[in-house]
Structure 1
Amino acid sequence: MPKIERAVPPYMQVVTHIRGQITSGELSPGDLIPPDRALAEEWGVSRATAQKAVTVLKAEGLVEATQGSGTRVRRAPALHHNGYDRAATVRRTGKIYAEGEYARITSASLQPAPADVADALGIAEGAPAIRRIRVTYGPGDVALSMSTSWLDGALAASAPALLETERIREGTWHYLENCVGRTAVHGQDRISVRLATAEEAELLSVTQPAPVKVTRTTLRDEDGVTLEYGVSVTEGRESIYDYAV
């Protein structure tokens, strides 16, 4: 039975719970969420509070009202896939992707590190860096995000699968832990908005000019050394994160 904690507004606790069910795949596209009357009873809140929670979920693009049948999870939910979301999904389900999602690695190669990548990884500009480009799809083969992961090129000798376009089944983080004994323990996301490049617009199937949200994720190991630097691009939509202060 869910329980209200007073540190966070009750309606946002309901939102966070249902959002988590959607991102983890517990609620699939097309599934009904409880009506506001049932939510109010389940959570022990007023009906107005339950209605406010559903309104927020609609504003985030996670659910939509369907005439005569209630409120359902969107068939192509506008989820923002960044390092925080990936880590949260792994903690909840042991899997990187939610139900109905899959990814394709479109490129995996050694490339000279651009200045921002070199700075993030702590290597010299132009030094070899592993670049992996991934496109994540949702139900209906809708492209949800495009991400580019960068890692120190020196890792290629011990972790050769990083240079292959076959998806690493156990996930990059677990693979690196097994191969080189380094574990990602801290992540930071920096989020900004800009217009899509031609390549991004093509991969995300959006028409230019199109705003996109860019998340730069830095993952560090136990020693504070950067393990992976990633740039994730999604169609420009609002993302909301809740936390106690």
Structure 2
Amino acid sequence: MPSTGYTDIAAHYRRQIMDGTLAPGDAIPSMRAVTEKFGVSITTANRAFRMLKNEGLTVATSGVGTVVASRPRVAFTGAARLDRLTRTGKEFAAGETSSNHSAALRSCADPDIADQLGIDLHDEIVIRWRVFRKDGKPTVVALSCIHPRALTSVPEVLQQGQLKPFWQTTYRERTGRTITRSPERRGARLASNDELAALEVEVPASAAVPVLVLHTTFHDDEGPIEVWEDVYAPGLWQVASD
């Protein structure tokens, strides 16, 4: 049986924080309790605690010990949100909300998105836009670029406002097709003015603001069906599910 490493312990508590099982201000079990629970040394437990602290998920509090940070500088990936929804049925982590939901049929002018969707540049796609917030503060501008063939089975993807249930769930139910997810791709670029406005970043008009960008592509048996583009607010860590 493989031994438990400090990254496994950190992943265990990271998932609990992401799922809301451990809320801001909640205490993490003591280091001694962690060593007993996982059968590891105090050194291994300490490394796990340090990893969570360095990610901005926890803080040390005098007289209490290690607690979940009240305003962690962390934004979870779209894949992590999907994993949480599958595991717990919870759409949001503690303190998380979304706003600015909108949808439109637009020409795809981004060569990378067109390539990922397997379409020609300037073909029409469905674009869904939303902003994720943590404790009211914008953290992620999320863009869903959906292949137009999805409209045949789920015309609701052009509906304004938040879609419930998740449109891919409806697509699977109506078509019987399985949707799979490719590994996330991470990169960086300069934020557009619209993205800076949505993230409430105030800078001079001539300023160049680099942002972390993450792409996730989804496929069914006919090919690519959707691409997520997540743009993260400056100063945030980005953490996957594990």
TM over 0.5: yes
Q: Provide the rounded CA distance (Å) in 1 between the counterparts of 2:45 and 2:201.
A: 34
Look up the match of 1:136. Answer: 132
Q: Provide the rounded CA distance (Å) in 2 between the counterparts of 1:93 and 1:102.
A: 17
Contact 1:40–1:46 (CA under 8 A) maintained in structure 2 = yes
Contact 2:117–2:227 (CA under 8 A) maintained in structure 1 = yes
Equivalent positions of 1:53-132 (< 5 A) are 53-114=48-109, 115-132=111-128
Contact 1:216–1:232 (CA under 8 A) maintained in structure 2 = yes
Equivalent positions of 1:204-219 (< 5 A) are 204-208=199-203, 209-219=208-218
Q: Provide the rounded CA distance (Å) in 2 between the counterparts of 1:50 and 1:186.
A: 33
Contact 1:81–1:232 (CA under 8 A) maintained in structure 2 = no
Letter in 1 for 2:138: A
Q: Provide the rounded CA distance (Å) in 1 between the counterparts of 2:121 and 2:189.
A: 25
How far residue 169 of structure 1 moved from its aligned partner, in angstroms, is 1.8
How far residue 144 of structure 1 moved from its aligned partner, in angstroms, is 2.2
Contact 1:63–1:72 (CA under 8 A) maintained in structure 2 = yes
Alignment CA distance shift 1:75-1:173 (3 Å): farther
State the percentage of identical aligned residues.
Answer: 33
Single out whichever of 203-212 and 158-167 deviates more from structure 2. 203-212
SS at 1:188 equivalent: coil
How far residue 133 of structure 1 moved from its aligned partner, in angstroms, is 0.8
Aligned pairs, how many?
236
Q: Structure 1 residue 13 and structure 2 residue 8: aligned?
A: yes
The TM-score normalised by the length of structure 1 is: 0.85
Contact 1:211–1:235 (CA under 8 A) maintained in structure 2 = no
Q: Provide the rounded CA distance (Å) in 2 between the counterparts of 1:197 and 1:156.
A: 28
How far residue 230 of structure 1 moved from its aligned partner, in angstroms, is 1.2
Letter in 1 for 2:92: Y
Equivalent positions of 1:192-203 (< 5 A) are 192-203=187-198
From 160, 166, 171, the counterpart of 2:166:
171
How far residue 37 of structure 1 moved from its aligned partner, in angstroms, is 2.1
5+ residue gaps, structure 2, are none
SS at 1:205 equivalent: coil
> Per-residue displacement from partner, 1:137-159 (whole Å, max 9, x unpaired)?
22x21222111100122333432
Contact 2:77–2:238 (CA under 8 A) maintained in structure 1 = no
Alignment CA distance shift 1:183-1:100 (3 Å): farther
> Per-residue displacement from partner, 1:56-90 (whole Å, max 9, x unpaired)?
00111111122332222122333343243123212
5+ residue gaps, structure 1, are none
Q: Provide the rounded CA distance (Å) in 1 between the counterparts of 2:82 and 2:44.
A: 29
Alignment CA distance shift 1:210-1:22 (3 Å): farther
Q: Structure 1 residue 231 and structure 2 residue 226: aligned?
A: no
Q: Provide the rounded CA distance (Å) in 2 between the counterparts of 1:171 and 1:110.
A: 19
How far residue 13 of structure 1 moved from its aligned partner, in angstroms, is 1.1
How far residue 180 of structure 1 moved from its aligned partner, in angstroms, is 4.1
